[in-house]
Amino acid sequence: MECRRTRKLVGFALVAATVAAVSIPARSQEAVAIPGTLVTLTPPPGFSVKGRGLDNGAGSTITISERAADAYAELATTFSSAKNLTTAYAAQGVTIRAVRQINVPAGPVLFAAGTQSFRGRNTSRYFALLKGDKTVLISFDLADRSFSEADAETLLRSVSLGRVATVEEQLAQLAFTFDVVEPFRVANIIDRNTVTLEAGPDDQPASSRPAVVIGRGQSQAVMGDEARVAVELLKNTAGFREATITAEGPVTFAGGPGYAVTAVVDDRTVVQYLRIVPGGAYLRLLGRGPSAVMQGAEATIAAIADSVEPK
């Protein structure tokens, strides 16, 4: 169990540390939202927003990592002592000297202070674990030794945590509308472009249940070229490159002329609807699952496809 917690914590921090993005200048004493997170904070002097965190351009970074809310209890166990946390980061040469709790407006924070000696580089390291709609880890990697624990606390007192948008709010942000037809339900929403629907009991393997993915993608194709693009997209879909097309033809989809393709590979069936829309984009619905299951789901998938409309 301890090894699993260690791997999760270190992986948690490393993912955020490797996010690359264009720097967004931020003046000190002004709260800024960290892109892709629920965190808003006031950067210390000299730091600006970069990716999912802050950078001072001189080797010091402050990174924000987020995981599901239920990850907090396990990570808090690792923060229960300096020894546990030192073990978690041993591979990175981190030594934690103290762990304590501080209270800030965002709530109680588990705060750890230490140092790191790794590949000839010596830095001060602070870690802060916060609980909200998501579990938040703030990691300080400071080449500037003048940045103190008090400075880190000042930043933490500026933190505010947003809330996770409801499913309804996320659906409202999509670039298209559609109807959820039972037994399908919303399983996942990615940005403004993709939604996944699933049917069947959650305790069954996903591979044994039908799924529908509706998405908006960019394309250089022109309207009227749906037949060619539909086949190309289907053949480039993971698991269906060698699929045999069993039916295809023009349909009305997403409020205009589209194209539908049905294909089979081994014991799996895929049904795809496509329409190229103005602005160099397309709307696509892809239903897939075991052939035996898809036979009973195709009518429902067709009803969902009939409801798709671009905004």
**Could you give the 3-state DSSP secondary structure of residue 156?**
helix
User: From CA 47, how far away is CA 57, in angstroms rounded?
Assistant: 8
Distance CA(171)–CA(261), nearest Å, equals: 26
Neighbours of 73 (CB within 10 A): 10
Please, are residues 24 and 48 in contact by the beta-carbon 8 Å criterion? Answer: yes
Tokens of 80: 């229960």
In the chain, the percentage of residues whose pLDDT exceeds 90 is: 77
- Paired with 275 in beta bridges are 283
The pLDDT, as a whole number, for residue 117 is 92
pLDDT band (50, 70, 90) for residue 29: low
Whether the predicted pLDDT of 2 surpasses 60: no
CA distance linking residue 95 with residue 110, whole number of Å: 16
What is 211-233 written as a DSSP string? Answer: EEEEEEEE--PPTT-HHHHHHHH
H/E stretch holding 68 reads strand 61-68
Which segment of 178-182, 199-203, 234-238 scores lowest on mean pLDDT?
Answer: 199-203
pLDDT tier for residue 8 given thresholds of 50, 70 and 90:
low
Beta strand 160-161 pairing with 134-142: unpaired
- What's residue 17's pLDDT? 45
Give percent of the chain above pLDDT 70.
91
- Please choose, from the candidates 284, 75, 309, the residue with its C-alpha nearest in 3D space to the C-alpha of residue 179: 309
pLDDT digits (tens, 9 = 90+) for 85-125: 999 999 999 999 999 999 999 999 999 999 999 888 899 99
pTM of this prediction exceeds 0.85? no
Q: State the DSSP code for 91.
A: G
Inform me whether the pLDDT recorded for 14 exceeds 70.
no
Confidence bin at 28 (pLDDT 50/70/90): very low
- Give residue 118's pLDDT: 85
Query: Which residue type occupies 251?
Result: V
Q: What is the spatial distance between Cα 179 and Cα 303, in angstroms, rounded to a whole number?
A: 8
pLDDT number for residue 158: 97
Q: Which long-range contacts (CB under 8 A, 24 or more apart) does 48-55 make?
A: 48/23, 48/24, 49/23, 49/24, 49/25, 50/21, 50/22, 50/23, 50/24, 51/16, 51/19, 51/20, 51/21, 52/16, 52/19, 52/21, 53/16, 53/17, 53/19, 54/26, 55/23
Mean pLDDT score across all residues of the chain: 90
- Give the C-alpha separation, 303 to 168, whole Å: 20
Collapsed DSSP state (helix, strand, coil) of residue 93: coil
DSSP-derived secondary structure letter, 26:
-
Tell which wins on pLDDT, 289 or 205: 289
Q: Give the tens place of pLDDT for each residue, 124-164.
A: 999 999 999 999 999 999 998 899 999 999 999 999 999 98
Q: What would the pLDDT profile of 210-231 be if each residue is shown by its tens digit?
A: 999 999 999 888 888 899 999 9
Residues with Cβ within 8 Å of 64's Cβ and at least 6 positions away in sequence, in order, are 16, 34, 37, 39, 52, 53, 136, 137, 138
For residue 207, what are the CA distances in angstroms to 51, 111, 137, 241? Answer: 34, 42, 33, 17
Query: Do 248 and 232 form a contact (C-beta atoms < 8 A)?
Result: no
- The residues with which 309 forms a beta bridge, in sequence order, are 177
